[in-house]
A and B are shown apart, each in its own frame.
Chain A
Amino acid sequence: MITRLVFFLTAFFVIAGCERLEKLFVEEDLLERPPSKRCADCHQKIYNQWKTSRHAQAWVSEEFIKKTKNRTKTKCLSCHAPLEVKAGEKPQLRDKLREEGVNCFSCHYREETDSIHGPYKVFSPPHYSTYNPEYTSARICSGCHKKTYDNWIKTGSNKNCQECHMPSKKDRLIQKFPFMYFHSKKDLHNHSFLPLKADEQDFSITVVYKGKALMVSVKNLAVPHTVPTAQQGKPKYYLQIKGFERKETLLSESEMITPENGFEYKREKTFIFYVDKKPDEVVVELYRKLSWKKEREFVLKKRLSID
């Protein structure tokens, strides 16, 4: 009887004191937007991925500093050190830790709930957590990546930003021993925000020779936004074309492609080159240059013969 009484009393106090119990384990500095390194105490993998990302470079990137004239173009700044990233809203510029760029707290901390928001319902004693389905939608990116988002919406694609740029694999959200074993494995999304590179399967290329003009048509088959794409940066693609007649070069030309005249999803873009004689073989190469890089990267090469 006494044992039962003790059990019920204990259960009662545990349940009644749950709120207090939750507070007991809260590490309050976590809800005061500390440096991202603090998150790495538990979320080591995510932190390491983020550290290599362009989001981590957003405020200190040389290109950004140059283009904003030493950060004096104020309208650019808030997306490079956002206070809180919310779906469909341009964020506010934060005051502290700007050098961390788009950091953990930019995307995951919300003052309105004083908790960490994310796509999972989790019990996380060191900080309050709020399940927020916005994190599985492309809208969460749209406040800053508006051009690409609008472009993606028009394509009607059901593949969202996260599926390609934050691919997931089953893993644990935290790596701190022994707490890592308190949570089941979940879809852990890659936080290095991969700037993916299109490949041969993503484009179809056709060439037609008509009236001394060689028409090269390129169609973006698989990337559900314009390629290249950017809100403000200047990524580029380069189309290089060589035309041969019995191995002799008849034509050697190149075209530069910017986000404004890029390869739209499932739309053919035709380039016209003048060439006196009809080539029997055409070699088409695509290269790209990311906004923050100086070197071009090879994307694809196709040899096409003209009948």
Chain B
Amino acid sequence: MLSEKNRGEAMRLIQTVGKSCVQCHKNFKLSAKVKFHFPDFSGFSLEDPVTGLDYSLKDYMKAMTQDMKLVRIYFLDGKKEKARKAGFNFVKRFEGLTQMCSDCHTGKKSEEIYFGVEAEKHITALKEAIVDGSLVRINKHLKWIGQNNCAKCHNVHETTYHLREKFGK
């Protein structure tokens, strides 16, 4: 129609095709975006720096949060040796999370937010607090990590991840 310069017929066909785009976007845009544009964490595997084994993301997170809880519990129970072990394991696993950002993020920005100079300072301070056995300082630095790393990353990715799981099914 375009080569024949039949404007009226061309417009009619364009509108027909256009309708099909609009209808698809209207019905499936949200589910398609959630399913195909948000990251799928299910295939991730991370090398665990403590055991040297490959863990699924779920198992890795479980092991790391377990360590975080155990530091406090053991220190409160007076089991300093175990508390230190759990504390250092937490730090190793936390630092090991750097393995996963670059699977999707090709720029350095997002890594710097989570593993930049500030985070490094708190990690070093946390290690020192674990060695000293100072629960107050341990809590202080874990809180900072919780707010600036765990919460931030979860708020960005977790909601859409769960939506994705639902829509995927």
Contact = CB atoms under 8 A, between A and B. Distances in A.
A272 B127 contact: yes
Interface residues of A, number: 27
Per CB-CB distance, the 5 closest pairs between chain A and chain B, nearest first, are A260-B98, A256-B49, A213-B131, A272-B127, A258-B98
Interface of A: 67, 69, 73, 75-76, 147, 150, 211-213, 230-232, 234, 236, 253-256, 258-261, 270, 272-274
B84 interface: yes
The number of chain B residues touching the other chain, given as a range, is 20 to 34
Interface string B121-152: 00010011011100000000000000000000
A31 to B, nearest CB: 32
Interface stretch (B9-17, B67-75, B88-96, B155-163): B88-96
Contacts of A76: 106
B99 interface: yes
Contacts of B65: none
Interface of B: 40, 43, 47, 49, 52, 84, 88, 92, 95-96, 98-99, 101-104, 106, 108, 111, 115, 120, 124, 127-128, 130-132
Contacts, number: 57
Nearest to A147: B108
A236 B47 contact: yes
A254 B43 CA distance: 26
Given A255-B92, A256-B49, A260-B111, A274 B98 contact: no
B131 A256 contact: no
A255 B106 contact: no
Nearest to A150: B108
Nearest to B112: A260
Contact of A234 (B43, B84, B99, B128): B99
Contacts of A274: 84, 88, 130-131
A254 B101 CA distance: 22
A114 B51 CA distance: 54
